[in-house]
């Protein structure tokens, strides 16, 4: 339970050479959600029942309160005082040994600990990197947290490939996004991994910055972990156009903890691809191309081809393969796919295949990801992605109320027993309530209706939206917040 630091790396290496598995957990317990964070940490500890927990002083009380008599706490501050082990006292991990228990992000449910063996870990990190054609001279610059699979994968990749890895504390990037780019310039960084929201942050700071770092060495970025919107990518490219064309650098990908990290990636020689499809057909599972000037369309970004050793299939609700291109559930199979979840006897696999819980389609071997199936809104028999509606709300706010500085939006459905239907709510992350909520709602609703054909029923707000440890929105918890705390309501909630 430590941040990016030498004690974290020391603990990982030492555990593996003792043939023990490691679990990296979120380490920040301060701030407005301190009690909730501590409760979640204790539930994670109870789930995996660790023999030893390593942490700094600021988490010691919380951790020790959750440990049993046969569990031990080790102060991270003291790790530097431990001398090197004798060669005869170390063991080499075996391929079949358990390497990592990786908690899934829990964006739609309580996190589960994914069991990952060394064979799966090494297969995943090497095959995910293979399409990028890594060279001995490549330098990976990473600020992602190690408790998330996307950030953690950088560590075993550097250990197995021998490439240089520069690790920045996540907190440094959050407080100053440009520190990532300055590190790339200073260390001549060539590769990175990043979620799309980080590019949004860089776009914002680039507009205010007088001088941007030299990014001439940067050649490959795995862009994944959340939906990728082509329009936002274009804004990022324009913000940095004065120093370099970054289109060949940004490489969309798709992965999840249950596959260690990677499922599909875009190679350096592939151009960025997206398709515009007709909304009315898309929401019914049909992929019908739309013209560029067609306003009733949505653009979906390609996330590359399956990595070596990975198979991708698109299936219906019954689990049967469907002809492509057509929207369905993404199923995967390969040596890096987990065998199951820690403490759960039932296997999630069906004949070796795993239902990812995400939806997408395939065109010419390229995977297009539509979003989580559990984040799908249904209105009149038509499917709407929560990500799609959230993006429309943010664009409406940028147009009609930029002074509010809305940081994020969570869209979810609420069952209305009186009207026997589901109402769609958009919850805004605002520091203070809007001065004229009814006018704001009318403008946002009109803009979203025009863009998506979906009418919002209510608008809500809160100072901080619930998120997973990796920063993903937890729409289910936002829904609970809306239902249990009427003070979050921005409008009267009568389905205006």
Q: Each residue of 200-244: pLDDT tens digit?
A: 889 989 988 889 999 999 999 999 988 888 888 999 999 999 999
* Residue 41 and residue 62 in contact, taking contact as beta carbons nearer than 8 Å: yes
- DSSP helix/strand/coil, 52: strand
Question: Tokens 């075996």 correspond to what residue?
Answer: 94
Segment 281-317, tens digit of pLDDT: 887 888 998 888 887 788 899 999 999 999 999 999 8
pLDDT given for residue 469 in this prediction: 66
Closest CA to 50 of 14, 34, 74: 74
* pLDDT higher than threshold 80 for residue 441: yes
pLDDT given for residue 15 in this prediction: 93
* pLDDT higher than threshold 60 for residue 421: yes
Alpha carbon 204 to its chain's center: 20
The DSSP symbol for 15 reads: H
Helix (H) or strand (E) holding 65: helix 57-66
- Give me the mean pLDDT over the 404-433 stretch: 84
pLDDT given for residue 381 in this prediction: 57
Q: What single string gives the DSSP state of each residue in 306-336? A: EPTT-EEEEE-TTS-B--SSB-EEEEEESTT
pLDDT given for residue 496 in this prediction: 39
CA distance 138 to 150: 18
CA distance 223 to 198: 10
CA distance 475 to 415: 14
Segment 161-208, tens digit of pLDDT: 999 999 999 989 989 999 999 999 999 999 999 998 899 889 989 988
* Residue 466 and residue 451 in contact, taking contact as beta carbons nearer than 8 Å: no
- DSSP helix/strand/coil, 36: helix
- Any bridge partners for residue 411, and if so which? 426
More confident residue, 277 or 107: 277
Q: Give the Å distances, CA to CA, from 440 to 423, 436, 445, 478, 487.
A: 18, 6, 8, 20, 17
The DSSP symbol for 34 reads: H
Residue 6's CB is within 10 A of a number of other CB atoms, namely 12
Burial class from Cβ neighbours inside 10 Å (0-12, 13-18, 19+) for residue 422 reads middle
pTM of model > 0.75:
yes
* pLDDT higher than threshold 80 for residue 417: no
Residue 245's CB is within 10 A of a number of other CB atoms, namely 9
Q: What single string gives the DSSP state of each residue in 423-446? A: EEEEEEE-SS--SSHHHHHHHHHH
Question: Peptide bond preceding 325: is omega within 30 degrees of 0, i.e. cis?
Answer: yes
* Residue 474 and residue 107 in contact, taking contact as beta carbons nearer than 8 Å: yes
Lowest mean pLDDT among 138-152, 381-395, 478-492: 478-492
Lowest mean pLDDT among 304-313, 396-405, 435-444, 479-488: 479-488
pLDDT given for residue 354 in this prediction: 97
* pLDDT higher than threshold 90 for residue 414: no
The token pair at 342 is 């820690």
More confident residue, 426 or 291: 426
Q: What's the mean pLDDT when you consider all of the chain?
A: 88
* pLDDT higher than threshold 90 for residue 382: no
CA distance 297 to 388: 11
* Residue 168 and residue 193 in contact, taking contact as beta carbons nearer than 8 Å: no
Segment 348-373, tens digit of pLDDT: 999 999 999 899 999 999 999 987 77
pLDDT given for residue 21 in this prediction: 96
- DSSP helix/strand/coil, 75: strand
* pLDDT higher than threshold 60 for residue 107: no
Lowest mean pLDDT among 67-81, 94-108, 112-126: 94-108
pLDDT band at 32 (very low <50, low <70, confident <90, very high): very low
Closest CA to 272 of 244, 239, 231: 231
């Amino acid at each position: 339970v430590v941040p990016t630091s030498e004690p974290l790396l020391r603990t990982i290496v030492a555990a593996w050479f003792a043939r023990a598995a490691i679990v990296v957990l979120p380490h920040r317990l301060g701030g407005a959600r301190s009690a909730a964070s501590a409760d979640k940490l204790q539930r994670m500890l109870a789930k995996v029942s660790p023999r030893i927990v390593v942490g700094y002083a600021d988490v010691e009380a919380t951790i020790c309160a959750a440990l049993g008599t046969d569990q031990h706490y080790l102060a991270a501050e003291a790790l530097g005082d431990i001398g090197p082990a004798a060669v005869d006292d170390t063991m080499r991990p075996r391929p079949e040994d358990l390497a990592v228990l990786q908690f899934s992000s829990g964006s739609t449910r309580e996190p589960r600990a994914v069991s990952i063996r060394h064979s799966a870990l090494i297969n995943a990190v090497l095959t995910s990197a293979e399409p990028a054609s890594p060279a001995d001279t490549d330098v990976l610059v990473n600020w992602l947290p190690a408790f998330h699979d996307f950030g953690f994968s950088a560590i075993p990749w550097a250990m197995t490939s021998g490439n240089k890895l520069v690790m920045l504390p996540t907190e440094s990037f959050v407080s100053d996004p440009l520190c990532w780019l300055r590190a790339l310039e200073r260390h001549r960084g060539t590769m990175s991994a990043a979620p799309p929201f980080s590019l949004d942050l860089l776009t914002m700071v680039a507009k205010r910055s007088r001088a941007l770092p030299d990014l001439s060495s940067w050649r490959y970025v795995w862009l994944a972990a959340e939906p990728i919107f082509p329009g936002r990518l274009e804004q990022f490219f324009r913000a940095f156009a004065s120093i370099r064309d970054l289109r060949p650098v940004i490489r969309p990908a798709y992965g999840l903890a249950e596959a260690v990290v990677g499922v599909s990636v875009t190679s350096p020689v592939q151009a960025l691809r997206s398709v515009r499809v007709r909304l009315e057909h898309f929401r019914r599972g049909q992929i019908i191309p739309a013209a560029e000037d067609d306003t009733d369309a949505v653009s979906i970004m390609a996330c590359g081809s399956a990595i070596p050793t990975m198979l991708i299939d698109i299936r219906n609700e019954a689990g049967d393969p469907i002809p492509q291109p057509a929207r369905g559930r993404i199923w995967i199979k390969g040596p890096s796919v987990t065998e199951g979840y820690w403490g759960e006897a039932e296997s999630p696999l069906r004949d070796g295949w795993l239902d990812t819980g995400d939806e997408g389609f395939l065109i010419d071997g390229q995977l297009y990801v539509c979003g989580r199936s559990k984040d799908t809104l249904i209105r009149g028999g038509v499917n709407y992605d929560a990500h799609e509606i959230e993006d429309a709300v943010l664009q409406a706010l940028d147009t009609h109320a930029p002074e509010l500085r809305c940081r994020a939006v969570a869209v979810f459905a609420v069952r209305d027993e009186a009207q026997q239907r589901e109402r769609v709510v958009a919850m805004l992350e605002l520091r203070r309530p809007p001065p004229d909520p009814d006018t704001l709602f009318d403008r946002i609703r009109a803009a979203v209706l025009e863009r998506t054909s979906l009418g919002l029923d209510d608008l809500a707000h809160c100072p901080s939206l619930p998120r997973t440890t990796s920063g993903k929105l937890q729409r289910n918890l936002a829904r609970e917040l809306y239902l249990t705390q009427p003070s979050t309501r921005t409008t009267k909630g009568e389905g205006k």
